[in-house]
Copies of this chain bind each other. A is one copy, B any other.
Amino acid sequence: MTNSELAVKAVIDTWNQTIARFDSILDKLTDEQLENEVAPGKNRGVYILGHMVAVHDRLMPLLGFGPQSYPELDEVFLTSPDKAKATPPIATLRTQWKEVNANLAKYYAQLSADDWFGKHTAVTADDFAKEPHRNKFNVLVSRTNHLSYHFGQLILMK
């Protein structure tokens, strides 16, 4: 393996491990438990779950894989704070979370290491020529850390 292939493997392995750990906790929490706040006055479990679905779903267009499946979640879980909008049924969010991640995993497996260092869709070709760090790999690193951040919160509900 080349160093850039090893780099991609390191981050995708961490992504997959963290999704598996997140799911293991999520599967143990009841819908009723997810209605609770992770800490007093902070976001509820259901908000973190919906936020994760929305952020991962938006990786589809950002990485050039295809359209977002659930744009209706943006208003509830990205542009509004918790408790501002009615949340969809938790069972629905659980299903969407599994679907979105399974779909991403399928596309991840199709990219070569070189593909990962190509530009993402939120940067123009001109800007990318000047700022080559604005690549798909950078998005993957950022979103893997975002996942770890919220996993650190969800695990407090256990």
Contact = CB atoms under 8 A, between A and B. Distances in A.
Interface of A: 1-4, 6-11, 13-14, 18, 38-40, 42, 113-114, 116-117, 132-133, 135, 137-138, 141-142, 144-146, 148-153, 156
B113 A3 contact: yes
A10 B133 contact: yes
A137 B6 contact: yes
Contacts of A8: 7
A116 to B, nearest CB: 8
Contact of A149 (B9, B141, B152): B152
A6 B145 contact: no
A6 B135 CA distance: 9
A113 to B, nearest CB: 7
B9 A133 contact: yes
Contacts of A148: 145-146, 148-149, 152
